[in-house]
C-alpha cells in the first residue's frame, strides 16, 4: 500500500467529525492494506512506532524538524519557521514548502507504508554521538522522496503530533468491520487486545487468521495484560449485596501498580506500569526479589509498589512513592526509598493462563508460590459476610494511612482492561458529600489574565471519558489549585500539543482559548456534581433541555499531571452519573 494512499485516508479522517464516518474511512484503509503491513499501518494511525511496553518513541523537537524541512526543500530555516508561525502546524508548513520549492527531486519509486514506517523507526532508534545531525538528514531524505501531502503527516508523526483523533476503541470497531462487515466483533477483538496490549498484533492476526485467530489469543510472558479496573459503591451494605453476601476485602494501596513478569530459567524479569510502560530499570530491588522470592519457573503477578515505614507501619503518600519512577539516580533512590510490592493477583503460572480461574484460586496459588515476607508481600485482606465487618476493616485501613478498600468477588475471573463489579472500591470520601477525587483529561486551556498574565496560563478545560462512544466530554473549568511552578509547567507542556481546532474526539460546547489533544490527566476535588447545560458529560434531554453534568468548585490536587494514567483511564461518564446518583441518595437520606 503506497503511503500517498495512506496520506489521503488521513486527510479524509481529519475532515470528518462523525465517529461513524471515521470508522468507515478507517475500515476501507485497513481493508486495502496487505497482511505484512497492517501492523505498521495501525501503529502509525495510533501515532506510535510500537506498543507502549516496547518504549520506542520519536518526538523530534520543532527546531530539528524545521532543519529537515529546510534541507529537503531548499528553503531557509527562517522561511520554514515563518511559515510554521503563520500556520501553527509544522506539518502544514512542510506541505506548503514542498509545494512551493522547485529544488525538490522525487525519485521514480513511490514510498510504501512499510518504507515510511521503517525510516521513521530508524530515526527514532538512532542514538549516540552525532545522532542529532543524523536524524535531521534521515528525515530530510524521507521528505525529499515524499509528495507534499505525505510530508504533512510524516512531519507530524515525527514530532509526535499526528492528531488524527483515532482512539483504540475506534480502531477496534474498524477492525471488526474489516473482519466481519459489522461492528459487533469489537468485543472479541478487544479481549485479544486486553491480553496482549498490542493493537498492531491484533490487527495483523485478524488479517492473517481471521476471527478464529482472534478467539485463540493466549497470555504471553513479557506482553503486559491490560489491568482489571474496579467499580465504586459508597457503602459496605451495597457492596455486599452486589457480591451476593460474601466477598474478600483487600487494602487499597495508593502506590504504583506493577505487573511483574518472571522467567526464572532465563533470569529475566520485566515490570510494567498501569499504563503498560516497561519500568523494570527503575526498580532493581523488585527485580531481585522476583527471582529470589517466587518459587515457580514462570509467572505474571500483579501488585501495588509503595514505600512505607516498617517501624510504624505507616504508608508513604503517593507523591513520595512516585519519585521512584525515574530514569536517573535509580540506585541512590532505591536505597533511600526502598519499595515493597503488595501482591494481590496471579494471572499466569508455569505456562498456564490463570485469568479464567476464580479469584479465590488465583489468590491461593499466589500465596503458595510467593514467600510473602520479603520485598514482595501480600495485600492485606479478610473475608466478610457482614457490612459491619467491612466497615470496621475500612476504618482500620484509613487509620493506617491507606485510601480505602477493594472488595473482590471470590468466584470472578480476572477481567482484563475492564471496569466491572467483580472488583468494587470504597474510599473514605465516598461516605457523605462528594469529596472523592476525580481524574479528568485536559482538552483545552485559557490565557492568563490579571496576576496570571505573566504565565500565559489561566486555567484548564477538562473532560471525562465516555468509553461507549470513545469521546471526551467536558465537565469542568479548573482555575484553582495551581502554584506558580505548576502554571509554568502546564503552559510549557500544553503548548506542544495545542491545536487550532477542536480535536475530533472532544465533545464540547464550551470553547477554551486553546484546544489541546486529550493526552494528559489531572486529579481534581469538587464540592459536588451538578447538572449543567454548558458541559457535555452525560448530556441528555431533560424536560426539553439538553443537560449534562459539571463539577462545582473544582480544584486541582496531587501536584500536577498524572504520569501513571492515560487519557482513556480517566474517570468515565458512566462513573460520573453513578456518583451523581449516590450523592443524590445521600442528600435525600440526610433530609429525611
Neighbour tally for 149: CB within 10 Å: 19
- Catalytic residue, chosen from 135, 177, 186, 252, is 252
Residue in 247, 224, 227 with CA at minimum distance from that of residue 237: 247
| Domain of residue 446, CATH code | 2.40.50.140
Residue 385, C-alpha cell as written in the block: 459476610
pLDDT in tens, 342-373: 999 999 999 999 999 999 999 999 999 999 99
What CATH number does the domain containing 10 carry?
1.10.3260.10
Mark whether 300 and 238 lie in a shared domain.
yes
Quick one: 350 and 235 in the same domain?
yes
Query: Do residue 247 and residue 283 come from a single domain?
Result: yes
Residues 267 and 392 in one domain: yes
Q: Distance of alpha carbon 111 from its chain centroid, rounded?
A: 32
- How far out from the chain centre does Cα 375 lie? 28
Last residue of a domain, one of 374, 408, 430: 430
Residues 170/199, Cβ–Cβ less than 8 Å: no
Helix (H) or strand (E) segment spanning residue 80: helix 77-87
- Domain interval for residue 576: 438-591
To the query of whether residue 252 is one of the catalytic residues in this protein, the response is yes
**For residue 297, how many other CB atoms are within 10 A of its CB?**
14
Which pLDDT score is estimated for 119? 96
447 and 572: one domain? yes
Say yes or no: 461 and 531 in one domain.
yes
Domain assignment present for 201: no
Give a yes or no: residue 454 inside a domain. Answer: yes
473-501: per-residue pLDDT in tens? 999 999 888 888 889 999 999 988 888 78
Given 158, 185, 215, which residue is the final one in a domain? 158
Q: Which of 158, 175, 208 is the last residue of a domain?
A: 158
Residue 398 has what pLDDT? 83
CB distance 573 to 538 below 8 Å: yes
Listing from the earlier edge strand, what are the strands of the sheet with 528-532? Answer: 528-532, 545-552, 540-542
Radius of gyration of the chain (CA): 25
* CATH number, position 350: 3.30.470.30
Query: Is 198 among the domain residues?
Result: no
Whether residues 305 and 397 fall in one domain: yes
How many Cβ atoms sit within 10 Å of the Cβ of residue 577?
16
Please check whether residue 268 lies inside any domain of the structure: yes
Regarding whether 365 and 296 lie in a shared domain, the answer is yes
* 380 and 443 part of one domain: no
Q: Contact, 73 vs 93, CB < 8 A?
A: no
Total structural domains in the chain?
A: 3
What residues contact residue 114 under an 8 Å CB cut-off, 6+ apart?
36, 37, 40
Strands (E), 233-308: 247-252, 256-263, 268-272, 298-306
Domain membership flag for residue 46: yes
Under 8 Å between Cβ of 566 and 275: yes
Q: Which residues of the chain register pLDDT less than 50? A: 102-105, 430-434
Please answer whether residues 335 and 324 qualify as being in contact, where contact means their C-beta atoms are separated by less than 8 angstroms: no
Shared domain check, 379 and 446: no
Residue pair 513/495 in contact (Cβ under 8 Å)? The answer is no
In this structure, are 356 and 243 located in the same domain?
yes
Q: Examine residue 193 and state whether it is found in any structural domain, yes or no.
A: no
**Whether 85 and 150 share a structural domain:** yes
In a domain, 197, yes or no: no
What's this model's pTM, rounded to 2 decimal places? 0.85
Question: Has residue 83 been placed in a domain?
Answer: yes
Amino acid at each position: 500500500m503506497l503511503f500517498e494512499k495512506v496520506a489521503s485516508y488521513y486527510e479524509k479522517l481529519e475532515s470528518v467529525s462523525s465517529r461513524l464516518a471515521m470508522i468507515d474511512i478507517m475500515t476501507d484503509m485497513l481493508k486495502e492494506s496487505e497482511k505484512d503491513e497492517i501492523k505498521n499501518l495501525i501503529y502509525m494511525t495510533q501515532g506510535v512506532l510500537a506498543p507502549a511496553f516496547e518504549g520506542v518513541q520519536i518526538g523530534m523537537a520543532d527546531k530539528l524538524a524545521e532543519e529537515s524541512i529546510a534541507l529537503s526543500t531548499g528553503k531557509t530555516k527562517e522561511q520554514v519557521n515563518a511559515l510554521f508561525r503563520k500556520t501553527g502546524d509544522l506539518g502544514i508548513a512542510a506541505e506548503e514548502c514542498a509545494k512551493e520549492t522547485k529544488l525538490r527531486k522525487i525519485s521514480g519509486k513511490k514510498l510504501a507504508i512499510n518504507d515510511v514506517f521503517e525510516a521513521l523507526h530508524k530515526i527514532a532508534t538512532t542514538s549516540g554521538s552525532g545522532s542529532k545531525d543524523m536524524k535531521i538528514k534521515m528525515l530530510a531524505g524521507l521528505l525529499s522522496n515524499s509528495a507534499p501531502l505525505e510530508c504533512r503527516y510524516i512531519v507530524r508523526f515525527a514530532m509526535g503530533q499526528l492528531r488524527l483523533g483515532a482512539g483504540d476503541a475506534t480502531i477496534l470497531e474498524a477492525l471488526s468491520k474489516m473482519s466481519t462487515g459489522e461492528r459487533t466483533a469489537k468485543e472479541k477483538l478487544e479481549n485479544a487486545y486486553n491480553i496482549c496490549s498490542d493493537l498492531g498484533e491484533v490487527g495483523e492476526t485478524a488479517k492473517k487468521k481471521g476471527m478464529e485467530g482472534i478467539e485463540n489469543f493466549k497470555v504471553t510472558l513479557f506482553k503486559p495484560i491490560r489491568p482489571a479496573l474496579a467499580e465504586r459503591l459508597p457503602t459496605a451494605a451495597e457492596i455486599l449485596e452486589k457480591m451476593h453476601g460474601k466477598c474478600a476485602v483487600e487494602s487499597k494501596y495508593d502506590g504504583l501498580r506493577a505487573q511483574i513478569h518472571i522467567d526464572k530459567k532465563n533470569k529475566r524479569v520485566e515490570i510494567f506500569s498501569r499504563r503498560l510502560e516497561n519500568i523494570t530499570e527503575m526498580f532493581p530491588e523488585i527485580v531481585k526479589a522476583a527471582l529470589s522470592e517466587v518459587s515457580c519457573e514462570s509467572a505474571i503477578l500483579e501488585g501495588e509498589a509503595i514505600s512505607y515505614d516498617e517501624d510504624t507501619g505507616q504508608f508513604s503518600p503517593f507523591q513520595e512513592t512516585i519519585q521512584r519512577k525515574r530514569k536517573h539516580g535509580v540506585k541512590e533512590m532505591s536505597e533511600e526509598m526502598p519499595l515493597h510490592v503488595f501482591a494481590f493477583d496471579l494471572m499466569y503460572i508455569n505456562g498456564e493462563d490463570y485469568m479464567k480461574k476464580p479469584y479465590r484460586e488465583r489468590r491461593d496459588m499466589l500465596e503458595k508460590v510467593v514467600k510473602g515476607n520479603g520485598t514482595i508481600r501480600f495485600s492485606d485482606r479478610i473475608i466478610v459476610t457482614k457490612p459491619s465487618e467491612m466497615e470496621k476493616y475500612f476504618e482500620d485501613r484509613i487509620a493506617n494511612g491507606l485510601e480505602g478498600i477493594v472488595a473482590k468477588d471470590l468466584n470472578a475471573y480476572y477481567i482484563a482492561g475492564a471496569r466491572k463489579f467483580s472488583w468494587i472500591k470504597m474510599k473514605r470520601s465516598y461516605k457523605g458529600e462528594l469529596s472523592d477525587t476525580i481524574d479528568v483529561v485536559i482538552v483545552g486551556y485559557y490565557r492568563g489574565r490579571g496576576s496570571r498574565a505573566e504565565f500565559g496560563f489561566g486555567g484548564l478545560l477538562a473532560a471525562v471519558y465516555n468509553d461507549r462512544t470513545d469521546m471526551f466530554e467536558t465537565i469542568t473549568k479548573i482555575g484553582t489549585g495551581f502554584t506558580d511552578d505548576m502554571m509554568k509547567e502546564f503552559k510549557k507542556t500544553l503548548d506542544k500539543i495545542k491545536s487550532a481546532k477542536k480535536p475530533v474526539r472532544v465533545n464540547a460546547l464550551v470553547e477554551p482559548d486553546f484546544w489541546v489533544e486529550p493526552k494528559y490527566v489531572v486529579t481534581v476535588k469538587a464540592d459536588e456534581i451538578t447538572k449543567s447545560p454548558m458541559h457535555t458529560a452525560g448530556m441528555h434531554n431533560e424536560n426539553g433541555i439538553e443537560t449534562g453534568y459539571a463539577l462545582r468548585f473544582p480544584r486541582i490536587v496531587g501536584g500536577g499531571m498524572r504520569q501513571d494514567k492515560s487519557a482513556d483511564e480517566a474517570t468515565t461518564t458512566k462513573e460520573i452519573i453513578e456518583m451523581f446518583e449516590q450523592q443524590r441518595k445521600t442528600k435525600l437520606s440526610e433530609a429525611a
